[in-house]
Structure 1
Amino acid sequence: MRSNLDRYLALEHKEGSPKISLYQPTSRSMPDAKADPILFKNLLQEAKIQLEEKYNRRVWEPLIKELEALQVDADFWTYSKEGLAVLIDESGMEVFRVDQSFEPSVTVEEHFYLLPLLEVYESLDAVYLLDLSKDRVSLYLVNQFTAEPVQQDKIITAFSELFDDFDAHADLNFGSYSGDGSGYHGHRSKPEEEEKERDKYFRYIDQALGEFIKGEDVPVLLAGTRDNLAHYRDLAKGNFYLQRQLEKPFASVDLKERRALLQEILKPRYQERVNKLLEDYSKKAADGLLVGGVENALPMAEHGRVETLFVQGDKGPEERMKVNELTEKVLLSGGEVVILQHDKLRGTVSATLRY
């Protein structure tokens, strides 16, 4: 779910160059969608003001021109979701369309403002969702707030593409009568043939999915008709499936219902994992492997020692800038950033250490 963000952060970003982080709500349909490029234009004007105060025009003007090109590109605004985030600096631009709205904001600093995106791409409750039908599947990475199709080429998602030698007339039987060796043609029943095809495909999906998620601590939530789900579970050998399931095709569910269903299933998982992290937090504190405050956590992040960074509460502009730097460093060193929804800890920033 967060792969595009992780990939973008891993690029070689020039130190000290301006980094623009732009967030805004967007609309999926007219007439509300007409206001989206206007809001974007207003945020660009605000970005210009911040850039002029802090940086040389020769450095930031190409960035603004690239953003202005987006603003007037009608195709760019055609396929909006609920929220839009744009990160841009001299190394390039990354656009994020998400199923959760953002408060409009633009930040220009030496580090990207990532917390709104990280809240959407929360990994504590993330699971794969397999939307199952008898002859094709779709794979998503979902959490309580959003569902993103997984771009992958390891699992063949359509029966017809997997079994390209499939014979549309495979319900024909050929055999011979006992004794005289003479042949006969007959027909298998269509329901019987479809059942065999479904068995073959479901076994393949279960095996291929196991290979795809090997080494990941991310379970799989199943979605589909009750009949397909029951049949799939009878055949599946993987131990990575959640017990809960969505007993309707995910593709048929509208956004509002999707969100409600995912929250019902995944909120307890999220709370359970937060509780485990807080238990680990207490153990780390007892072992002297805990630091509080941005100033104390930054040196640890620079040396790759932060295992989990906890961020909560409102932050003023000066602290936000330092939290942005800290968040970037933790993510780039393979640490985890957890945005706590409610005050669980003292202070706005705490970090558990690897050693």
Structure 2
Amino acid sequence: MQAISKQLLVELLKESSDGPCLSISQATHRSFPENGQDQIRFRNLIKELEHSLAQHEGKADTAKLLAPFKQLAEDTDFWKYSLDGLVVLGNAKRFHIFKLQRPVADFAVVADTFHLKPLMRVLQTSDRYHVLALSRSSATLYEGNRYQLDPVGTASTFPHRNHEEEIARSLPGDRLEHQEHSATITQQTESYFRAVDKAVIEEFSAASELPLILVTLPEHQGVFRKLSHNNFLLEQGVAIDPTSLKTEELRKRVWEVMEPIHHQRTRQEIDRFKQAQGTGLAQDNIDDVYQAAKQGRVQLLFVDADQRIAGRLLSDPDRIEYVGDFSHPEAEDVLDDIAEMVLRQGGEVLVVPSDIMPSVTGLAALYRF
């Protein structure tokens, strides 16, 4: 399994030249008996890939391309521990598996590029965050959204401290000893916090650029913030002992911090689009946006998370050829392809649900000029 980052998405865009590219996305389930059908549904999606490969032009080694997918389909242990969604990508050189914290539509496609919209939605949605649950002797990092919170960094990620030894050193003695022990514990705590801060930055924040919410006792909030070099650490945290909360309780407390930030970002970007309408800098016509994307003019692209449009982008002449559905051997998701083009040109892609999309066409764009 791999974590999703902007750097990885760029790498996947580059890998898309090694076609044909096979993509599967499907909803999965965390617990029995709901997850009992996930493995069967994955096998059925592989059959759809086989059918598409049979119609695909070229001399692709079908057996070799499908081998890692079929191996995963038979890995019983893998299917016992699922999250809410799964994306599997493969071509002649690479094979990638992503477990997601949100459901995705069941979909299988063979194309010249990977179907990356499910990953772009995870990467570009503004409700994602990290949580650092911190004490003087332990640290756990979580990744979450409005619905889920899962650990991504635990004891193996961070340095370990022997809390029992600290307690022994802090047992009552004479006043001077107590002061010396207190000073020592403070120094050790600060040293440990620095090590945790460094690990979070290097292992997670630098790549993901997700906002970080600190959950720790009130007396540790100020200490950690004073020494932290993490530019993604939010000013507001949760001042409580994280070990006193179950995961779902922790998610609710953290979402109280994150929800206003999430809503503000989404509203601001949608308002920008609405204000730019009529100025020539806002467009929701798919064909026009495609031309602008080719010219590198798209600064921000909204993509409807719940829509797919079957077709292909042609270069001679520059136009979109729409086809009936994804059973067509050359069908790709036009919205996905335009989003990839925008990312390659240095633009930003924001994947949002249908109910808040500023248009009904499947996409909307803000132009640089």
Q: How does 1:128-139 map to 2 (within 5 A)?
A: 128-139=130-141
- 2:111 maps to amino acid: E
Greater alpha carbon shift after TM alignment, 62-71 vs 193-202:
193-202
Distance (Å, rounded) in 1 between the aligned partners of 2:193 and 2:132:
12
8 Å Cα contact 2:140-2:153 kept in structure 1: no
1:249 corresponds to: 242
Distance 1:141 1:82, change over 3 A: closer
> Could you tell me whether the CA contact under 8 Å between 1:111 and 1:321 is conserved in 2?
no
Cα contact 1:18–1:55 (8 A) shared by 2: no
Identify which range, 322-331 or 59-68, moves more after superposition.
59-68
* TM-score of the pair, normalised by structure 1: 0.75
Structure 2 partner of 1:118 = 120
- Offset, 1:56: 4.3
Provide the C-alpha distance between the structure 1 equivalents of 2:224 and 2:333, rounded to a whole number of angstroms. Answer: 52
**Residue 108 (structure 2) aligned to one of 106, 126, 129:** 106
Alignment of 1:139-150 (within 5 A): 139-147=141-149
User: 1:148-163 counterparts in 2 under 5 A?
Assistant: 157-158=158-159, 160=161
Change over 3 Å in CA distance of 1:236–1:262 after alignment to 2: closer
CA distance in 2, matches of 1:103, 1:257: 28
CA separation in 2, counterparts of 1:147 and 1:339?
Answer: 20
Aligned to 2:303: 311
**Over residues 118-140 of structure 1, what are the superposed CA-to-partner deviations in whole Å (9 max), with x where a residue is unaligned?**
33344423333211111232334
Instruction: Determine the C-alpha separation between the residues in 2 that align with 1:2 and 1:215.
Output: 9
Aligned pair 1:340/2:352, yes or no? yes
CA-to-partner distance for each residue in 1:129-162, whole Å, 9 max, x for gaps? 211111232334433245566679xxx832549x
Contact 2:16-2:114 within 8 A present in 1 as well = no
SS in 1 for 2:300: strand
Instruction: In structure 2, list runs of 5 or more residues that go unmatched.
Output: 312-321, 323-331
In the TM superposition, what is the alpha-carbon distance from 1:103 to its structure 2 partner?
3.2
In structure 2, what is the equivalent of residue 351 of structure 1?
365
Give, in whole Å, the separation in 2 of the partners of 1:272 and 1:278. 10
Alignment of 1:238-317 (within 5 A): 240-245=233-238, 247-249=240-242, 253-254=246-247, 256-257=248-249, 260-285=252-277, 288-312=280-304, 314-317=307-310
Give 1:41 deviation, angstroms.
0.9
How many equivalent pairs are there?
A: 335
Q: Distance in 1 between matches of 2:186 and 2:153?
A: 29
Query: For residue 329 of structure 2, what is the aligned residue in structure 1?
Result: none
Aligned partner of residue 300 in structure 1, secondary structure: helix
In 2, the alpha carbon distance for the partners of 1:270 and 1:43 equals: 34
Kept in 1: contact 2:238–2:253 (CA 8 A)? no
1:62 to 57, 61, 64: 64
| TM norm structure 2 | 0.73
Deviations 1:194-241 (A, max 9, x none): 4553344346656886898689975421123xxx24332256236842
The equivalent residue for 1:175 is: none
SS at match of 1:310: strand
The separation in 1 between residues aligned to 2:199 and 2:44, in whole angstroms, is: 47
1:201 aligns with 2:192: yes
Kindly tell me: are residues 265 and 107 of structure 1, through their superposed partners in 2, closer, same or farther at Cα, counting changes over 3 Å? farther
Cα drift, residue 38 of structure 1: 1.6
Give RMSD over aligned pairs.
4.1
Offset from partner CA, 1:308-346 (integer Å, 9 cap, x none): 111226344336621121122222333221122224423
Q: 1:272: Cα distance to partner?
A: 0.4
Of residues 197, 210, 219, the one that matches 1:230 is 219
CA distance in 2, matches of 1:113, 1:203: 40
Say which SS state the counterpart of residue 333 (structure 2) adopts: helix
Distance 1:105 1:268, change over 3 A: same
Change (3 A) 1:354 1:215: farther
CA distance in structure 1 between the aligned counterparts of 2:310 and 2:78, rounded to whole angstroms: 31
d(CA) in 2 for partners of 1:169, 1:241: 35
* One-letter identity of the residue aligned with 1:306: V
Letter of the 1:352 partner, please give it.
L
- 1:76 matched to which residue of 2? 78
**Counterparts of 1:35 and 1:190 in 2: how far apart (Å)?**
61
User: Which residue in 1 is equivalent to 2:94?
Assistant: 92
Distance in 1, Cα, partners of 2:362 & 2:11: 26
- Is the CA contact (8 Å cut-off) linking 1:86 and 1:94 kept in structure 2? yes
Identity of aligned residues (%): 25
Partners of 1:21 and 1:79 lie apart in 2 by 21
Would you say the 8 A contact 1:81–1:99 is kept in 2? yes
Three-state SS of the structure 1 residue aligned to 2:43 is helix
Counterpart CA distance in 2 for 1:151 and 1:10 is 27
Residue pair 1:308, 1:353 contacting (<8 A) in 2 also: yes
Going from structure 1 to structure 2, the CA distance change for 1:122 and 1:12 (only over 3 Å counts) comes to closer
Q: CA–CA distance in 2 between the matches of 1:251 and 1:21?
A: 42
Does the 8 Å CA contact 1:309/1:338 hold for their aligned counterparts? yes
How far apart in 2 are the matches of 1:251 and 1:101?
Answer: 29
Tell me the distance in 1 between the aligned counterparts of 2:170 and 2:254: 40
- 1:327 matched to which residue of 2? 339
In 1, distance between residues paired with 2:76 and 2:205?
38
